[in-house]
Amino acid sequence: MRDIHHFIDGKAVAGTSGRFSDVYDPNTGQVQARVALASPAEVDDAVRRAVKAQAGWAAMNPQRRARVMFAFKALLEAHMDELAQLLSSEHGKVIADSRGDVQRGLEVVEFACGIPHLMKGDYTEGAGPGIDVFSMRQPLGVVAGITPFNFPAMIPLWMSAIAIACGNAFILKPSEKDPSVPVRLAELMIEAGLPEGVLQVVQGDKVAVDALLTHPDIRAVSFVGSSDIAQYVYATGAAYGKRVQAMGGAKNHGVILPDADMDQVVKDIVGAAFGSAGERCMALPVAVPVGEATADEFVARMKDAIAGLKVGISTDAEAHYGPVISAAHKAKIESYIQMGVDEGAELVIDGRGLTLQGHEGGYFLGPSLFDHVTPGMKTYQDEIFGPVLQVVRAQSLEEAAALPSQHAYGNGVAIFTRNGLAARDFAAKVNVGMVGINVPIPVPVAYHSFGGWKRSAFGDLNQYGEDGVRFYTKVKTVTQRWPEGDIGDQAFVIPTMR
């Protein structure tokens, strides 16, 4: 059986804890590899080596660090197909979706290539008599990223590219469910010219997570995962004096006004709800049509659109989406479908019971559609994270906007309309972190930043973009004076603008 190792000081390193976790092929349900699970001692060793490597990397001028990022970008493009195939083999998403996973991460690497500009500080000449003030951005030291199974390329790249470009060393703890792509990314970054030890990949579970959260040499932790764990990571990391950004779950809504282009709405929502088997924190699992006529038309047309979807193995070029990540997650989604029925929602299309010939052990679920879902239902309140679309009917825009605004999650929301004034007012007032106007999955481009509100995010700074640079750096401000002759009593006076 293939073993997946840690990646320390530029090479694969076998685990010594004696603990392993099975890595499955979601298309077949068969074990295809096992991954080492790090002990606290192994985490400590990786961090200590990163501390040694970080000083030299931080001393390198930002232009030379940017050249490594440029070379890394070129390698990602050259190895795109290889990375996508490896990603699909462990995650289960179709190849086209895996390519998108890598591409969205690559775009943050492109942004990180601009680090010489992004690291510039400010300068004020003559802030006082003979006094100048300037600021500089400096790396934190050794930082860590804890990433989820659903984007094993994109999210590690979101974190590591900016952290490393800023001059930090980075410890990556990827999901144990699909751990191979993060190791391959690290290999390519070494090939691009990154010094050994600046990027370490430590495989593991909660033991490794806790070791990172409590390690005295880890200065900051970035996390993406479920909200309960995000809150735990934030609280624990902060208690140990670390800067923390912890992105949690979501329940994104799509509000459909009567004037919307229904052809485009159906096309957009069927992809946003069921793409990647719904295993996206920016999926759109709740549709909110305004008015009964709008709702009736949307449900009828969505039924037809769902009938045209093909679920297949990840290498099937004609499949719209593949299996979910694990047997346990499939069972959880199925339990939510049954819960929706028990709560009184109308199950229009039931995706349970789907099997593919020759892949009977795979973790496949067909698309499910619920109508007449109400806000009091637990299935509406919870993140299902699967190919399940719920329709909550509203009678006015105000009622529709209140649903995402009052929900515990606040990651993303979309509105579909031709009315610019309504869209503008909705975007300004809705209590959600990321808004799409006729855009179903409003993930910001790499030079903005990604982050939700409420239980979708813990911490003050968002992922990537300029917020990413702020998160992975600290600001030092220098006030300087070069006096002529004896300064006399001025030595006892705080410098002022006078």
The model's pLDDT over 293-310, given as tens digits with 9 standing for 90+, comes to: 999 999 999 999 999 999
Q: Distance of CA 382 to CAs 232, 266, 316, 405, Å?
A: 18, 24, 31, 15
For residue 257, name the pLDDT band (cuts at 50, 70, 90): very high
Indicate if the pLDDT at residue 486 is higher than 70. Answer: no
**pTM, entire model:** 0.95
- Please provide the CATH number assigned to the domain covering 253-437: 3.40.309.10
Q: Using only C-alpha atoms, what is the Rg of the chain?
A: 25
Level-2 CATH architecture, domain 2-248+456-477: 3-Layer(aba) Sandwich (3.40)
- Residue 289 CA to residue 291 CA, distance in Å, equals 6
pLDDT at 273: 98
What residue spans define the domains of the chain?
2-248+456-477, 253-437
pLDDT at 1: 82
Indicate if the pLDDT at residue 494 is higher than 70. Answer: no
The model's pLDDT over 235-252, given as tens digits with 9 standing for 90+, comes to: 999 999 999 999 999 999
Number of other residues whose CB lies within 10 A of the CB of residue 184: 18
> Which residue in the list 37, 68, 190, 281 is annotated as catalytic?
281
CB 238 within 8 A of CB 214: no
Catalytic site residue 281?
Answer: yes
Residue (of 57, 50, 10, 462) closest to 215 by Cα position: 50
For residue 483, name the pLDDT band (cuts at 50, 70, 90): confident
Residue tagged 């052990």 (tokens): 361
The model's pLDDT over 84-140, given as tens digits with 9 standing for 90+, comes to: 999 999 999 999 999 999 999 999 999 999 999 999 999 999 999 999 999 999 999
Q: Using CB atoms within 10 A of its CB, is residue 216 exposed (0-12), middle (13-18) or buried (19+)?
A: exposed
403-426 average pLDDT score: 98
The model's pLDDT over 58-78, given as tens digits with 9 standing for 90+, comes to: 999 999 999 999 999 999 999
Work out the percent of the chain whose per-residue pLDDT is above 90. Answer: 96
- Residue 174 CA to residue 196 CA, distance in Å, equals 19
Number of other residues whose CB lies within 10 A of the CB of residue 233: 28
The secondary structure element, H or E, covering residue 31 is strand 30-36
DSSP 73-116: HHHHHHTHHHHHHHHHHHH---HHHHHHHHHHHHHHHHHHTTHH
